[in-house]
């Protein structure tokens, strides 16, 4: 049996299973003690010994353990055990695509004309226009992430939201790709459509949570593609000051703050979720190549590898324990 990628979808339920099993076992032991005390108060010691001569406390305890383990396994089955992988290759226009757009101030760098953010927004619009089918949604992120446009086929509404999204859309500074992935996951519907997340950013994941979040999405069958916006050489960050003039951001030592494309981080995030990393390119050629790969169904690494549900194993084990408990007698064996 293939046991690769063993994990639980809801690991917190394992704690509930352990606690639940222990509480049931304690309750059964307490009930047994009450029964024995009640019997002791009803019968004299000599008569009690005769009444319980054929009773086995060890067998009673075995039945309690089996019942408690079965209860714990049934709860654990709701945690979503997964192991092994299945291959799926879905083609066609049934994908739901969420774009996660970086709107941090580093996206104002002009190493892509006119700025990284403008170039990224134009590439998204061209992607949707040429794709022409399926649901699309938009998440904007910097130090926080928010859904700007839910999944929709109303492309005009999507374009309007995209146009209005800028560095002022989110007031929390920084770049947290992990939060962007988490917010994007919530935007997807529970349907059978192929689910794709495309992140457009310069890759400076200041909170370093993107890779772990991407791994979680892979286990749920979602694919994450990363699009690098910018160049490895980078450039200074220029913003509009309070008086309306253009000024360069500087650090505490008075040096210009430079922002460079972090290809390594973006490649690791894409690889963690079976996706691809591409550079956007000055003409948006990277996004066009990705669109064609999605259309051909060749964009995924491993073609949608995901853990196989294995709840039936835990449920089967629980049923076997319940059968064992019901067939086990509390009477002592007699020679």
Q: What is the pLDDT of residues 115-131, one digit of tens each?
A: 999 999 999 999 999 98
**Which tens digit of pLDDT belongs to each residue from 77-119?**
998 887 765 555 444 447 899 999 999 989 999 999 899 999 9
Query: What is the chain's length?
Result: 335
Q: What is the pLDDT of residue 136?
A: 95
Q: How far apart are CA 242 and CA 245, in angstroms?
A: 8
HSE-up of 105 (CA within 13 Å, CB side)?
16
Query: What are the sequence ranges of the domains in the chain?
Result: 7-85+309-327, 95-304
Residue found by looking up tokens 């690889």 in the block: 271
Assess contact for 173 and 125: CB atoms under 8 A: no
pLDDT tier for residue 218 given thresholds of 50, 70 and 90 = confident
Q: Over 80: is that where the pLDDT of 73 sits?
A: yes
Provide, rounded to the nearest whole percent, the portion of the chain with pLDDT above 90: 44
Decide if pLDDT at 335 tops 80: no
Query: Which pLDDT tens digit goes with each residue over 3-38?
Result: 666 778 788 899 999 999 999 999 999 988 887 776
Distance CA 240, CA 244 (A): 6
Task: Say how many C-beta atoms besides its own lie within 10 A of residue 137's C-beta.
Answer: 22
Q: How far is CA 229 from CA 104, 226, 238, in A?
A: 12, 9, 16
- Please report, for residues 24, 37, 66, 220, the alpha-carbon distance to residue 313 in angstroms, rounded to integers and kept in the order given: 22, 40, 16, 20
Per the model's pLDDT, the better-predicted residue between 289 and 205 turns out to be: 289
Classified by CATH at the fold level, domain 95-304 comes out as: Rossmann fold (3.40.50)
In terms of C-beta density within 10 A (0-12 exposed, 13-18 middle, 19 or more buried), how is residue 41 classed?
exposed
Report which of 4, 12, 7 is spatially closest to residue 220, judged by C-alpha positions.
7
């Amino acid at each position: 049996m293939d046991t690769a990628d063993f994990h639980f979808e809801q690991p917190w339920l394992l704690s509930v299973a352990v606690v639940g099993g222990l509480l049931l076992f304690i309750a059964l032991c307490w009930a047994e003690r009450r029964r024995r005390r009640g019997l002791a108060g009803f019968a004299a010691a000599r008569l009690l010994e005769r009444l319980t001569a054929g009773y086995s406390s060890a067998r009673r305890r075995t039945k309690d353990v089996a019942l408690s383990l079965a209860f714990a396994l049934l709860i654990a089955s709701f945690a979503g055990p997964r192991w092994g992988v299945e291959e799926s290759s879905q083609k066609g226009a049934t994908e739901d695509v969420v774009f996660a757009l970086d709107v941090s101030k580093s996206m104002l760098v002009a190493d892509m004309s006119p700025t990284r953010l403008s170039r990224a927004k134009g590439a998204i619009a061209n992607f949707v226009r040429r794709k022409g089918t399926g649901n699309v949604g938009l998440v904007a992120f910097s130090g926080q992430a928010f859904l700007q446009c839910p999944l929709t086929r109303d492309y005009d509404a999507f374009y309007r939201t995209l146009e209005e999204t800028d560095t002022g859309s989110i007031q929390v500074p920084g770049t947290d790709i992990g939060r962007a992935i988490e917010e994007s996951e919530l935007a997807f519907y529970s349907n059978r459509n192929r689910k794709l997340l495309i992140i457009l950013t310069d890759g400076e994941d200041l909170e370093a949570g993107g890779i772990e979040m991407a791994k979680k999405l892979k286990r749920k069958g979602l694919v994450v593609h990363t699009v690098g916006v910018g160049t490895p050489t980078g450039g200074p960050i220029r913003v509009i000051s309070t008086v309306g003039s253009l000024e360069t951001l500087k650090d505490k030592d008075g040096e210009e703050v430079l922002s460079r494309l972090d290809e390594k981080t973006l490649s690791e995030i894409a690889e963690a979720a079976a996706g691809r990393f591409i550079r956007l390119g000055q003409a948006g050629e990277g996004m066009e190549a990705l669109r064609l790969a999605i259309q051909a169904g060749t964009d995924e690494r491993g073609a949608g590898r995901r853990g196989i549900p294995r709840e039936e194993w835990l449920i089967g084990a629980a049923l076997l324990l319940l059968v064992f408990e019901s067939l086990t007698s509390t009477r002592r064996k007699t020679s």
